[in-house]
Every structure is written in C-alpha cells, then in structure tokens.
Structure 1
C-alpha cells in the first residue's frame, strides 16, 4: 500500500455537514433512551419521537460517523444469497416476512425522504447478486426462485452493466442507494425539532433494568428512562450473551471518480473473490463523473495484512475500471449472526423494557430502517408481523445454528489461547508506523512506534473479554479478533463492544 493510498477516511464523512451535539452533563429523565447514533439508533429515535415519546440518543462518538458513516450505503432487500437459505431454515413464511420487512422499510424511507425534503442523493437502482463461476449458476437460479417466492421482483439474468461477463446474476429492480450521513443528519435535525435530544461524546457504561431503567455514563450523568434501546452495532452489554451469536467481519472500501459513461448502472455484489461489491454515487456538479465505490476483502478484525488487502482491492478496481482515479480508502465493520437473521427486539429473555438491534450482516441500511419501525412498534404496543422472525430470544434448532455457532466459538477460543503463544518480536526492531504485541513485565504489551520514532505502549488485553489485540498497520489501530473491539494507538476506544480504553503501559 503506497503512501498515496493510505487510509484517507470515509467519503460520506468528508462530504456532509459536521454538526456537533453537546455531551450529556446533567441527569436526564425521558421515555426512551437510545444508545448509539448510527442508522438503527437514529431511525428508532426518530420514529419514537414522531410517535409522541420523549427520546434521548446517547452516542459515544459522533452520530452517523461509526459503522453507518463507513458503509457502501446500498438500500436493498436483496441480501446476497439469503432467500434460498431462509426458505430452508425458516420456511417459506419466514422468507416472505424477511422480504416484506426489508422492502417496506425501503419504501418507508423513500416516503421520509420526500416528506422531509431530504437532499441525500436518493437514487433508484437495480440490485444484483452475481457469480462468474459457471459452477455456481444453479445456486443463483435457486436464489432467484426463492426471492420471487418471497415476494421480490427477482429474475435470473446473464447480462449486467459490469465491464466483464458474468455466469449469472439475480436482479431485483427498483432498489435504492443514498448518501447515508446526509440522510441521517437531516433525520437528526427533525428529531430535535420534534423535541428529541442528542448527546455525543457520551459513553454509556452501565444499564440497570427496572421500572424505570437507569443508565450510567462516563460523563457522570444518569439517564432515567422507561425503555432503553441498545443500538451500538455490537451490543455493549453482555448479559444477553449475544457475543456468542455474532461474528465480527471487517471489509475494505476504495473509491474515486469515474467518467459517467463508465457507470455500470446498478448495485452489485458477489460472494466470489472474497466478496466484491460495486456501486456508484453522484460526484461533482457537472454530471460528467460518478463516484465509484468498491468494497471487498472481508476478514476478521486483528488478523492478517490489511495493507496487502487494500492493494488487492485497488488492483481489482483498476483492472476492471481503468479510468477510475482512486482517492478514498477506508474500512467498515459488520456483525454476522450465526443463524443469518438480525437480532432485533427484547435484549434477553427476562427483559421488559430493554431492547437491542444488532447482527445486520452487512445489510445495515435496510436492516437499520426496519429495526427502527419494529422497535417502535414493540415499545408503543403495536403489532408487528415480523417480531418473531427477528426476536433475539429465539431458540434456533441445532440444525439451523449449531454449525456456525460452534465454528465461531472455536475461532474465539483459538485466538484467546493461541494468540498468547505467539512469538514476541524485539521492540527495537519495530519500524516507524508499526505496532506489535510483545512480552514485558510478565505480561503482553501492545507497542506502537510513531513516525517520529517514539514508542506508545498499552495493555494488549482487550477490555471487553480479555482477548489479545493485534495491530492493523493500514489503519494504525489495535483490533480484537474475538469480538471486534478496536482501539487507537493510545488505547482509546474506536469501536465497541469495549467501553473502556486499553490501559497505558511503560516500556
């Protein structure tokens, strides 16, 4: 990865207004407290405010700047190869409810965009899941049939707008794409106009469930609320043991302007080649160029050479879109549920006023919109046809979940034990811009050497559950391979489920 290709930050964050909201410093009493200011949290808060509830959003960083601010922002009900699997594991009705819930969320969002007059580059596009391997064509045909039976306008095609031939693809027309941060900042503005509150730089540390519930925060303020929604992408509370049913997955994104006449005119994804996702977005004022956005190279956080992965993704982009000038390089993170379906509803079996939204498996745009409507219905006492489908308390039959569950737990156990057996490199051999976990003082220390040659040392034990972190040189961050927590080189929390920083150490 060349110096010019260093991680530059999300295009969405760089091209949307940077409104800030004050941290919570005084105690607060509201009907509903929503923890997390991504798409699931903000959609839920907005829907609840519109339903007449007093709502406060508590965000540890900035709203619409975490996972949501780094997404590729496809808004579609075609989620790669999900429907044939759902038909087999959840039955025909489960697949229909999934398609209906996602599709209605998309159309509801289109109505919100129109109602509020939001300028968020909302565009209608066909969504495609494609393969280039002839051996997978029947898999695509089965997916097209399952998606049609589920109620989507799906068809099997062999021609697309991509600059290379495909063996086959599932196409669903009239899906959407947008600028996620522009949409959510507008939604946040309307939420505040309706009496809602947003507090950034407010990390929630504890949840006391009851009637009412109470939240403790790092600022010292206490929030009292009848209902609490945990929408932190990866749940920051472990009482529901949802960490055993979620597998973190990180993906890279490269983007840059492309001549408009080279636009592939669609949203594309393939499970091949370690995933490749392609779309474009409006770029510039004269309409002669589009922003090409390509995602892929998925991996478990804290494993492998991220710079080499960026190189592979960049090479792929230039091979098939030679006219593109890659200007943006960033990464995103998702959580895959072990049984395919997101977890949206009561936080745990005994929960009466605590809810969660997580496990969107890379489809958080339509999923977050769906979650906002579903949780609002549950909190306000309305009926929702797909509550049971997404219920986090569901007891999945062994045939549905056991294989993926056991594989994930084996990987976590392997990291927890195996990473402690890794050889320790000498600190003096660490070049500028690099980090490594070394043995020091009878334990493991995460050491980073900055560009000036100074060393920065923190504990290598993730503050979530004690796995050892590893260094991501491309993004200059410490990452936990067990549950996906990420930390800056000074130990500050970049991404949960960890809520406490890595402790400082001295070499």
Structure 2
C-alpha cells in the first residue's frame, strides 16, 4: 500500500508557477469580455484575438489555476463510454459531429503547440476505456463499434500496457497528453502579444445584456463589450437556469514517480470502482522516472469522508503499481450535463450577445479548445457544423434526458431539506483541524477550529442558492453539495458558482 501524501496542491501549478496579471482597476471598452481564465476562456480569447477582436479576460483568481490547473490533462476524443449513448440519443450524425469536433480540438491544440513552440510535455498516446469485469465486455465492444462508426480510429482490445489484466478495452490511437498550465501560460503570452488584456483577482458581480453589454466587477470597474462569454466552469449567472442541468462532481488525484520502464504507455480510464484514471508524464531530466497520475473516487462536493477516499485511492495505486512513491495529492471538480453533451453557445433563448461554455463532464481539455473555436465562430458569424449539437438552448425535457434531470433535481432538493434536519454537534467537540455545521441561537453556523485552537465561524448558507455547506476535512474547505461552490475556512469563495463569501458569524 502506498502512503497517502498530505494534500499539497496540484503538480501542474507547482511546476509552472508563471507570472501575475493585474486586477482591473479602470473602466474598459473591448469587443469581447471573456469571464473565466481556464482552458475554455483562454482558448476563446486567443481565437478571438487571432480573428482581430479586442478581448479582455476577467479571472476571479489566477489564470489556469482553477479546474484547469487541477485536471488530469488528457487530450482525447475518447470520453469514457459516450459514443454508443450518443448514437442512441443523438443519432449517428450527432455522434459523428461530436467525434469530429473533439478530434479537431486535439489537432488544433497540437497545431498551436507547434506554431508557438510551446514546451508543455506534449506526447502522443493511445487512449483507453477499460474494464476488468467480464460482464462489461459487450458494452465495450458496442462502444468501440460506435466510436469507429463516428469516425475515430477505435478498436476493441484485450491487451493493454497496464500492469494488470483487463477483460477488454476500447482503444483510440493518436490522442495526446500534456502539461496544461505550461500550455495555457504560453497561450496567454501570445494572447497579450496580439493585444489581449488579462486581469486576475477580478470577480464579476453583474451582467447587463444591453447593446453594448456591461460587466460589473468587484473592483468597481466596468467592462463595456459588444459580446460577453461566460466561461467560469459553472456559470456565475443563473438567468439561464443552467444549474438545473448540471451536476457537480469532485474527484481526487494522487501522483508520484515510477521507473520509466513501468510506464503503461497510454491514457486509461474505467467507469468501475468509482472511476480510475491513469496516465504518466515526464519527470526529471534524465528520463529514468515518470510521473504517475491516478484519479478517481468521484463524489458530490460536501458529502462523505474525503480523507478516507484519498486513502482508498492511494491504496489502489500501491496495489496496482507496487513501489510507487506518491508525492502529490489534490482534487479536481467537473460538471456533468444531464444529457451528456456540453453546453456551449448562447447563454439563454433570448441572448443576442452573451454566450456560455460549461458542462464538459470531465473532458474539459478537448472540450475547452472546441468551445473556443465554436464561440469564436458564433461571434464572428462564421459557420460551425456542430453548433446545434452543443447549443444550450436545446430542449432539455426530452424523454431521454428527463430521468437524469429529475434525479439531479431530487438530489439537490434532498440536500436543501435534509441537510437542515441533521443533528448538530456541539462546538466544544470540534478537535483542531476540523469543521462542522452547528446550531447557534437557532441558526446554522459553519465553524472551523484551526490548529491553534481558534474558532472561525461563518454562515452555513451557500451564497449561491442557500443550500447548507459541509466541511471537507482533507482540503479544509466548506463545500456546497447542491451546485459545487467552495469556500475557505474564513468564508472566501474558492470556487463558484457563488461569487459572494460566506458571512462572518460571532459565536
């Protein structure tokens, strides 16, 4: 069994710290304001600047440091077991458009790496969706056939580079893996060279969809723009009610080194065991060892024992890759759309100059680049073959989507009501490093006791839509189980859709 390392942050962030960009202080006029500095926002901004538009990127934290900075960083068009489902729900043409759009995104990124000379550990690898359970072989065969019919170089195989046997796998050749932050920092440098403006630590609080649009920020400055793109991973504006069609999912990551000759030589994922994802990356300068990155244990934010999940994932790593020296542990977060396909296009049915990119379901690398190309086409008036496939205005209450839609809303309602009925522990019972929602004078209060014994108390009501937060002890953060907002122990927003902090409380 491999020892679980302390939750010490993303390897990608630690190995590519990058520079900083200023907060927005003065009013600004641009053609397009892009809200969000992850791969979707930065790809969109870069494509628009390349097309001759003036662009400003507004990021609440640091660019490429949110979800994109914590990703597994696989660049592939093979997205688990999506193609057989798409063939049934969207028809063969829908599956082909999905495959084409995602494959072209992989090649677009490869072209950018070559054009800009980006040193981002870009490596071509086959992608695999595998299962160890023989009962899933028929499912894998159907997926391989559907992916091949959709235009991917896919096949069903029974042998892989993994150090353990599998019952079968779907293999798609010619995919890629990379260092996401090195890639995006270089892309941002080129965006700035093309006249783009980038602002960090600039939280957006309001959006006026006039002509032109106006974006208000926490710094007091306003951005006036003809078009606005909301690429904040989970949309920070609720006017489109997209939160009813998204389900937040958090996953854990452990990473460490193995000898280079033990590299499984591909990118792997299985839907079994709460998901397990495996890939490697270059490590060191002599090529003797590789960084092994293992992801899994997906769960709804704000539910369950995260430390136990980290221990379980570390144990799996040690069992399947004996001798791995785990050095890093972090977590990532994704949003699953109720009908499988991301939501990229106009923000709502009445939108004329506002757009959104969300719901990538764990495949934000190819999805983000695809979104950049699609949104640029919509804004510049160019045709795009797959715009209808990803259009957020598509009818959501179809017979096929309804069960997942209802399940998502039932889960949210269960948390909204049920979490308020949970017994509240006494404050005195909190040990150092722990937090809990307690009752003080009839109100629910989120209380954390730091390592020195001092108490930090904030409102337990998420500032997004009012669900009660819960404490993630492994990452020492308050998390909302309804829509995935996250806050530090003093209530500051770590991750949206919430944009306002939890209110301080005196106890």
Q: Please, what TM-score do these two structures have when normalized by structure 2?
A: 0.99
Q: Deviations over 1:222-269 (max 9, x none)?
A: 000000000000000000000000000000000011110110000000
Alpha carbons 1:348, 1:393 under 8 Å: kept: yes
- Name the structure 1 match of 2:86: 86
- Name the structure 2 match of 1:373: 373
- Name the structure 2 match of 1:215: 215
- Name the structure 2 match of 1:96: 96
- Find the aligned partners of 1:272 and 1:255 in 2 and give their Cα distance: 20
Alpha carbons 2:2, 2:314 under 8 Å: kept: no
The answer to whether 1:55 aligns with 2:59 is no
- Name the structure 2 match of 1:359: 359
- Name the structure 1 match of 2:11: 11
- Name the structure 1 match of 2:410: 410
Alignment of 1:116-127 (within 5 A): 116-127=116-127
Structure 1 segments, 4+ long, off by >6 Å, are 1-4
The answer to whether 1:293 aligns with 2:293 is yes
Alpha carbons 2:2, 2:325 under 8 Å: kept: no
- Find the aligned partners of 1:266 and 1:470 in 2 and give their Cα distance: 37
Residue aligned with 2:128, SS: strand
Following TM superposition, by how much is the alpha carbon of 1:441 offset from its aligned partner in structure 2, in angstroms?
2.0
Alpha carbons 1:44, 1:373 under 8 Å: kept: yes
Alpha carbons 1:259, 1:323 under 8 Å: kept: no
Following TM superposition, by how much is the alpha carbon of 1:4 offset from its aligned partner in structure 2, in angstroms?
6.6
- Name the structure 1 match of 2:350: 350
Change (3 A) 1:46 1:402: same
Alpha carbons 2:302, 2:479 under 8 Å: kept: yes
- Find the aligned partners of 2:87 and 2:225 in 1 and give their Cα distance: 39
- Find the aligned partners of 1:194 and 1:333 in 2 and give their Cα distance: 31
- Find the aligned partners of 1:239 and 1:500 in 2 and give their Cα distance: 17
Alpha carbons 2:4, 2:326 under 8 Å: kept: no
- Find the aligned partners of 1:442 and 1:311 in 2 and give their Cα distance: 36
Residue aligned with 2:423, SS: coil
Following TM superposition, by how much is the alpha carbon of 1:397 offset from its aligned partner in structure 2, in angstroms?
5.2
Following TM superposition, by how much is the alpha carbon of 1:399 offset from its aligned partner in structure 2, in angstroms?
1.9
Following TM superposition, by how much is the alpha carbon of 1:334 offset from its aligned partner in structure 2, in angstroms?
0.1
Following TM superposition, by how much is the alpha carbon of 1:6 offset from its aligned partner in structure 2, in angstroms?
1.9
Alignment of 1:118-137 (within 5 A): 118-137=118-137
Alpha carbons 2:267, 2:278 under 8 Å: kept: yes
Q: Deviations over 1:60-86 (max 9, x none)?
A: 000000000000000000000000000
Q: Deviations over 1:408-443 (max 9, x none)?
A: 000000000000000010100100000000001221
Note the residue ranges of structure 2 that are not aligned, 5 or more in a row: none
Following TM superposition, by how much is the alpha carbon of 1:17 offset from its aligned partner in structure 2, in angstroms?
3.5
- Name the structure 2 match of 1:149: 149
Following TM superposition, by how much is the alpha carbon of 1:384 offset from its aligned partner in structure 2, in angstroms?
0.1
- Name the structure 2 match of 1:481: 481
- Name the structure 1 match of 2:333: 333
Residue aligned with 2:403, SS: helix
- Find the aligned partners of 1:3 and 1:255 in 2 and give their Cα distance: 11
- Name the structure 1 match of 2:21: 21
- Find the aligned partners of 2:166 and 2:3 in 1 and give their Cα distance: 34
RMSD of aligned alpha carbons: 1.0
Following TM superposition, by how much is the alpha carbon of 1:5 offset from its aligned partner in structure 2, in angstroms?
2.2
The answer to whether 1:312 aligns with 2:309 is no
Alignment of 1:206-245 (within 5 A): 206-245=206-245
- Name the structure 2 match of 1:424: 424
Q: After alignment, is 16-25 or 339-348 more displaced?
A: 16-25
Alignment of 1:146-295 (within 5 A): 146-295=146-295
Alpha carbons 2:3, 2:315 under 8 Å: kept: no
- Name the structure 1 match of 2:394: 394
- Find the aligned partners of 2:397 and 2:27 in 1 and give their Cα distance: 44
Change (3 A) 1:397 1:452: closer
Residue aligned with 1:500, SS: coil
- Find the aligned partners of 1:279 and 1:3 in 2 and give their Cα distance: 19
- Find the aligned partners of 1:341 and 1:400 in 2 and give their Cα distance: 13
Alpha carbons 1:436, 1:448 under 8 Å: kept: yes
Q: Deviations over 1:340-389 (max 9, x none)?
A: 00000000000000000000000000000000000000000000000000
Note the residue ranges of structure 1 that are not aligned, 5 or more in a row: none
- Name the structure 2 match of 1:471: 471
- Find the aligned partners of 2:99 and 2:442 in 1 and give their Cα distance: 54
- Find the aligned partners of 1:138 and 1:147 in 2 and give their Cα distance: 14
Alpha carbons 2:2, 2:315 under 8 Å: kept: no
Q: Deviations over 1:457-492 (max 9, x none)?
A: 000000000000000000000000000000000000
- Name the structure 1 match of 2:140: 140
Alpha carbons 2:280, 2:290 under 8 Å: kept: yes
Alpha carbons 2:4, 2:310 under 8 Å: kept: no
Following TM superposition, by how much is the alpha carbon of 1:3 offset from its aligned partner in structure 2, in angstroms?
9.7
- Find the aligned partners of 2:138 and 2:194 in 1 and give their Cα distance: 51
Change (3 A) 1:2 1:108: closer
Following TM superposition, by how much is the alpha carbon of 1:448 offset from its aligned partner in structure 2, in angstroms?
0.1
Residue aligned with 1:382, SS: coil
- Find the aligned partners of 1:481 and 1:284 in 2 and give their Cα distance: 39
- Find the aligned partners of 1:198 and 1:38 in 2 and give their Cα distance: 12
Q: Please, what TM-score do these two structures have when normalized by structure 1?
A: 0.99
- Find the aligned partners of 2:397 and 2:232 in 1 and give their Cα distance: 27
Residue aligned with 2:410, SS: helix
Q: Deviations over 1:267-306 (max 9, x none)?
A: 0000001000000000000000000000000000000000
Residue aligned with 2:399, SS: helix
Q: How many pairs are equivalent?
A: 507
